[in-house]
Amino acid sequence: MNPGDLVEAIRVLETDLPADVEAALSRCEAEEEGNSKVVLGAILENARYAREKGIPMCQDTGTLIFFVRGAPDASRAHEIIEEALIRATDEVPLRPNTVNPLSRENEGRNLGRWNPIVHFERGRRADGRVEIGIMAKGAGSENVSRSYMLDPDQGDEGVKMAVIDTVKAAGPKPCPPIVVGVGIGGNLEWSGYLAKRALMRRLDCEADDKEAARLEGELLCDINALGIGPMGFGGRNTALKVNVEVGHCHTASLPVTVSIQCWALRRVVAEWNGEAFRVCR
C-alpha cells in the first residue's frame, strides 16, 4: 500500500456517493412532494454531477476519519495516511479544514496536532488483508452532534429522548435527510467512536444486536414523525436511517453519543492484500 492508493480512495469518497445512500435518497424523492421533492431532486442531481465530473459533492470536504484493521505496522500506516492527506488536499482537492482550535491557525494540509484521526481496530481478517474505512464528516453535521452521560435507570427511553432531543435541536442545520449514528455504551469517548463506527454501516443493513436493531426501527419512525423534512421544508423523511452500535459499559453508566450525518454520507472501504489495493465500498 502506498499514499497514491489512498489518494484514489479519498477521491472516490468525496466524489462518488455510495449506492445505498443514493438509493435511499431516490426512495425519499418518490415519497415527497412540493419543495421537499424539488430539494431531493437537486441533491440527486448534485450527486450525479459530482460522480460524472470527478469533483467533490460538497464544498465542505470534511474532516477525514480513518478506521484501520489488520495493519502489521501501525506507525507506517499512519505515515501513509498523512502523506495521502497532503496529496489529496491538492489533487482531489480537499478544502484545508484543520485548524488550531485556539489560534485558528491553518497549516493548509489537513494535518496538525493529533491529526489525522485514525482508529486502529483490533482483530485481523482471516485472509490477512488490511482494511481501511474512511469517512468524511462535515462541520454542519458534526456541530449538532451530542454526547450524554445518562443514569442507567433511564434505559431505552433515556436513549430515545437523547436522540430525539438532538435531532430536534439540530433542525435543518445538518442538511437533512440525515443519517443518525448512535453509540451506546463504552465510556464518554468510546460512545463517540461507536457512533461514528455506526455511520460506516450500509443503510440497507440493521445492527447485529437484536436490541440495537429494534431501537433503530423505533428511532427512525420517531425522527421522521417530527416532520422536519428535507432541508427543513417539511415532509415524511427527516432521516434516511438510524444506525446503532453498542458496547459494554460500567454498571453505573449509560453513555450515549448521537452523531448526525448530512445526506452526503461519504464513506468508503478499501482493502490491501499485500500486492493490490482496491476500493470495495
In tens digits, what is the pLDDT along the chain, a chain of 281 residues?
899 999 999 999 999 999 999 999 999 999 999 999 999 999 999 999 999 999 999 999 999 999 999 998 999 999 999 999 999 999 999 999 999 999 999 999 999 999 999 999 987 776 788 999 999 999 999 999 999 999 999 999 999 999 999 999 999 999 999 999 999 999 999 999 999 999 999 999 999 999 999 999 999 999 999 999 999 999 999 999 999 999 999 999 999 999 999 999 999 999 988 888 899 87
CA-based nearest residue to 266, from 56, 21, 85, 13: 13
The reported pLDDT for the residue numbered 126 is 67
Grid coordinates of 32: 415527497
Task: Count the residues in the chain.
Answer: 281
DSSP letters spanning 108-140: SSS-BTTBSEEEEES---TT--EEEEEEEE-HH
What is the reported pTM?
0.96
Environment class of 89 (CB within 10 Å of its CB; exposed 0-12, middle 13-18, buried 19+): buried
- The three-state secondary structure class of 71 is coil
CA-based nearest residue to 261, from 227, 223, 226: 223
The reported pLDDT for the residue numbered 167 is 98
To the nearest 10 degrees (0 to 180), the angle between helices 34-53 and 3-15 is: 150
The reported pLDDT for the residue numbered 273 is 86
H/E element holding 269?
A: strand 266-272
What span, in angstroms and rounded, lies between the C-alpha atoms of 242 and 90?
34
Grid coordinates of 81: 495516511
- Phi, psi at 217, each rounded to 5°: -65, -45
